[in-house]
Amino acid sequence: MSDTLLIDALRVIVGERGVVTDPHDLENYNVDWRHVFKGQARCAVLPRSTQEVAAVVRLCADQRIAIVPYGGNTGLSGGATPDDSGRQVVLSLARMNAIRDIDVLGETMEVEAGCILQTAQDAATQAGLMLPISLAAEGSARIGGILSTNAGGTNVLRYGMSRTRVLGLEVVTAQGEIVSGLRRLRKDNAGYDWKQWFIGAEGTLGIITAAVLQLAPQARHRVTALLAVPTPDAALKVLRAARHHIGETLNAFELMSGAALELVARHQAVKTPLASSDWFVLVEASSCLPGLRDAVEALFALVLEEGEATDGVIAESERQEAELWLLRESITEAEAREGRSLKHDVSVPIARIPAFLHEADAAVAQAFPGSRVNAFGHAGDGNIHYNVIMRADADGHALNRLVHDLVVRQGGSISAEHGIGQYRVSELERCRAAPELQLARRIKRALDPAGTMNPGKVMTLTQQAD
Ligand SMILES: Cc1cc2nc3c(=O)[nH]c(=O)nc-3n(C[C@H](O)[C@H](O)[C@H](O)COP(=O)(O)OP(=O)(O)OC[C@H]3O[C@@H](n4cnc5c(N)ncnc54)[C@H](O)[C@@H]3O)c2cc1C
């Protein structure tokens, strides 16, 4: 089908304003948010309803034209960026952004895939509840992208990955059928839980058009604290003590190296209120019940007395809480200003974090002299951002392989929360066992036999669409 015929057919489905062909306007769809990945789309199409999504998918499937689903474009693995063939159609859900319903008693929200995460959070808050998915890109990321990447973020320790929030899903399959499972049930063991196939699939199996999300009660009391700890091992002892003493109130347990906070002080002029230390942990806890602050103070006294922490501060106001979080949130930006860095978003079983850091630091120092490690992350989830600031001439692929091999040896994952996209396909295929990869390919072939859904992302197949 010629470009003109395709564009005309798409305009019939989604209206004149729903098809983007102007090269300047297409740039937003050709390049990811960080300008790391670049492609060339044939056009971008913005349907207004699930029926329109289905009609677009059917048209493209008939013509064997590949579709790249597109949310807020904040993904960090190039999943929403088309290839450079100029033949793929980007399908943006931006015009499907309604919050269809909030059920206060059932604590659920039915929301369209194009709704921005922050808008959904605000609506939940206004209803006296909370949507506990939170990450720095929440002002731009959309629900469809969040679920398609099974996003993590700062609340995972308590509330789980995005997957755990999904009660029901509506999808358009690769053949253009609408499958609606928008049930708001906590219990539903009637057959396969097919929605799980689409969550975290990065748009390779179909298009998420709407979801029913499980909300949570608002936690009115919050305590945020920063502790200096001598080693990652000591940090894990603090985590164990926190789980024992303040249990399910623990929202976040973030590990930051002293070197990371030195970068923040140097480049962002944000300083820790504590004296220098090799490691720090940022702790946040919240509860519906009063008395949380007393419990955190008691925890502090305990870990200081036992020498697991050497210093600490509890925020006295919302402003101080924000200042403590700013330390954590400034690390990525500070690292970018320091020079060329290679990022590894990895996870290992929590108990193996110290061994992983120890081995990886030694191996990186030996193989890449002159490089510096910037390690931080959601340690309570076993998720470490193991970033290496390296010399301009260093071999990035060799460094990736070195770090990923150590991760695999510790029983970890080469992608804790950022997904595979186009960036990590070859590393996933190198690091995952053949039976797991074969199973994944069988699912892909069953749901998308023509290979038109986001080809080249997550896995390679021998036969795929343009
Ligand atoms: C500053 C910053 C901080 C971040 N912090 C975190 C973090 O803490 N934790 C974390 O996990 N991630 C984080 N991310 C990554 C990113 O925000 C998440 O991956 C997010 O879930 C992507 O949502 P999006 O709407 O931008 O999706 P996009 O980037 O548009 O798309 C992501 C993937 O989902 C697919 N997709 C999009 N919409 C649909 C749909 N409706 N149906 C099917 N497939 C679809 C795309 O094809 C692509 O493969 C961060 C990113 C930035 C820029």
- Pocket test of ligand 1: the residue of 37, 50, 70, 143 to mutate, having most ligand atoms within 8 Å of its CB, is 70
Domain final residue pick, 304, 332, 360: 332
79 lines ligand 1 (CB under 6 A): yes
- Does the CB atom of residue 208 touch ligand 1 within 6 A? yes
The verdict on residue 440 lying in a domain is no
CB distance 113 to ligand 1 below 6 Å: yes
Verify that 352 and 253 share a domain, yes or no: no
450 occurs within a structural domain: no
Both 127 and 69 in a single domain? no
* Domain co-membership, 343 together with 234: no
Claim to verify: residue 179 and residue 252 sit in the same structural domain: no
Residues 229 and 318 in one domain: yes
CA distance 289 to 295: 12
How high is the pLDDT of residue 466? 42
Are 119 and 200 within one domain? yes
Domain end position, chosen among 274, 299, 332 = 332
Q: Which residue's CA is minimally distant from atom 23 of ligand 1?
A: 145
The answer as to whether 428 is a domain residue is no
Determine the 3-state secondary structure of 232 from DSSP. Answer: helix
Nearest CA to ligand 1 atom 18: 75
Atom of ligand 1 nearest to the CA of 34: 53
Output the CA 199–ligand 1 centroid distance in Å.
12
Structure tokens at 157: 């320790």
Alpha carbon distance 178, 219 (integer Å): 37
418 pocket-lining for ligand 1 (C-beta < 6 Å): yes
User: What pLDDT is stored for residue 461 in this prediction?
Assistant: 82
Q: Which atom of ligand 1 is nearest to the CA of 75?
A: 29
The reply to whether 273 and 321 lie within a common domain is: yes
Give me ligand 1 centre to Cα 129, in Å: 24
Residue 407: its pLDDT value, please?
Answer: 98
Q: 72: domain CATH number? A: 3.30.43.10
Q: For residue 292, how far is its CA from the centre of ligand 1 (angstroms)?
A: 33
Backbone dihedral region for residue 372 (phi beyond 0: left; psi -120 to 50: alpha; all else: beta): beta
Residue 79 alpha carbon to ligand 1 centre in Å: 8
85: phi > 0 → left, psi -120 to 50 → alpha, else beta; which? Answer: alpha
Q: Is residue 432 a part of any domain in this protein?
A: no
Q: Would 348 be classed as within a structural domain?
A: yes
Ligand 1 closest atom vs CA 154: 8
Ligand 1 pocket member 377 (CB < 6 A): no
Confirm or reject: Cβ of 76 under 6 Å from ligand 1.
yes
Looking at residue 336, its pLDDT comes to 86
Please work out whether the CB of residue 456 comes within 6 Å of at least one atom of ligand 1: no
The predicted structure's pLDDT at residue 392: 84
Decide whether any atom of ligand 1 lies within 6 Å of the 142 Cβ: yes
Q: What is the 151 CA–ligand 1 centroid distance (Å)?
A: 7
**Same domain assignment for residues 270 and 189:** no
What's the sign of the alpha-carbon dihedral 123, 127, 131, 137? positive
CATH for 257: 3.30.70.2190
- Please indicate, yes or no, whether residues 383 and 321 belong to a single structural domain of this protein: no
Whether residues 114 and 197 fall in one domain = yes
> Which residue of 140, 149, 199, 424 sits with most ligand 1 atoms within 8 Å of its CB, as the best mutation to test the pocket?
149
Cα separation, 184 vs 101, in Å, equals: 11
Ligand 1 close to Cβ of residue 71 (< 6 A): yes
Q: Measured in angstroms, how far is the CA atom of residue 153 from the centroid of ligand 1?
A: 11
209 domain-assigned: yes
- Residue 207, domain member (yes or no): yes
Between vectors from CA 205 to CA 112 and to CA 54, what angle results, nearest 5°? 50
Whether residues 54 and 103 fall in one domain: no
Burial class of residue 290 in the structure, from the number of CB atoms within 10 Å of its CB (0-12 exposed, 13-18 middle, 19+ buried): exposed
Same domain? For 317 and 365 the reply is no
- 216 sits in which H/E element: strand 216-217
Q: What separation in Å is there between the alpha carbon of 372 and the centre of ligand 1?
A: 28
pLDDT at 464: 46
Structural domains in the chain (count): 4
The CATH number assigned to the domain holding 375 equals 3.30.70.2740
Question: Is the CB of 77 inside a 6 Å radius of any atom of ligand 1?
Answer: no
Q: Quick check: CB of 70 below 6 Å from ligand 1?
A: yes
- Residue after which a domain boundary falls, among 196, 217, 238: 217
Predicted pLDDT at 465:
45
Average pLDDT along the chain, 466 residues, taken 10 residues at a time: 94 97 96 94 98 98 97 97 97 98 98 98 98 94 98 93 98 98 96 97 98 96 97 98 96 96 91 94 96 96 96 96 94 89 95 97 95 94 95 91 97 96 96 95 97 96 55
Query: Which of 135, 333, 316 is closest to 225 using CA atoms?
Result: 316
Residue 16 burial (10 A CB sphere; 0-12, 13-18, 19+): exposed
pLDDT value at position 462? Answer: 65
Q: By the 8 A CB rule, do 93 and 116 touch?
A: no
Residue 443 lies in a domain: no
- Domain hosting 182: range is 99-217
Mutate to test the pocket of ligand 1, among 29, 76, 343 (most ligand atoms within 8 A of CB): 76
Q: Residues 465, 61, 47, CA angle at the centre, nearest 5°?
A: 115
Question: Can you give the pLDDT at residue 108?
Answer: 98
